[in-house]
Structure 1
Amino acid sequence: MGIPSLFKTPRHRQFNYQPVYYNPVKEELEQRTKKAKGEAGSVKQGIQRGQMRGYFHHVASQKKQSNIRLVVILLALFLLAYYLLFNGLTS
């Protein structure tokens, strides 16, 4: 038996909280399976011409950017080595 009181004491509340976790790998896998199921219904016999053109353009631009980046890095390293060898020795 409890002690009688003039004021009601609030009871603790119970929550049914279930945390939601975001798993990017699982989300990507679900998107891939949905896409694959959608494409399975309409199987294409070949690759569309526009997609190939865009792909080759993308690859060519990536290769060009990579070559430019390589030249800039080599030039910077050459200038640094030149400065250290010739100006560093006279100091």
Structure 2
Amino acid sequence: MIGSFFHSPKHRRFSMPFRYYNPEKEEMQDREDRIKKELGIHEKKGTDSDYRPNIRGQFRRAMNHSSKTASGERRRSNTRLLLLIVIISLAAYLLFKF
């Protein structure tokens, strides 16, 4: 009874087998790459090593655009708030005067 009261579970081991790993194919590919490099043969692959995405400044431009719209919204909100305060003040003045 006391042993089951202070029971601590055993740790679980993480074991994930390789699903799509073929060591012979990988070794053959490495050997082919090494031979092609020695012979000076260059293959065009799907990706270009000189490729640079054109993202410079896009985040800053997007944030600048959104800040302009946000500042306009803020200005309109402040104007509405000021107008509401004036109306309530006028109503309170007229209520307490009469």
Coarse TM-score class (shorter-chain normalised) = 0.3 to 0.5
Q: Using structure 1 for the length normalisation, give the TM-score.
A: 0.42
Which of these two proteins has the greater Rg computed from alpha carbons? 2
Q: Using structure 2 for the length normalisation, give the TM-score.
A: 0.40
Question: Structure with the greater relative contact order (CA < 8 A, sep ≥ 6): 1 or 2?
Answer: 2
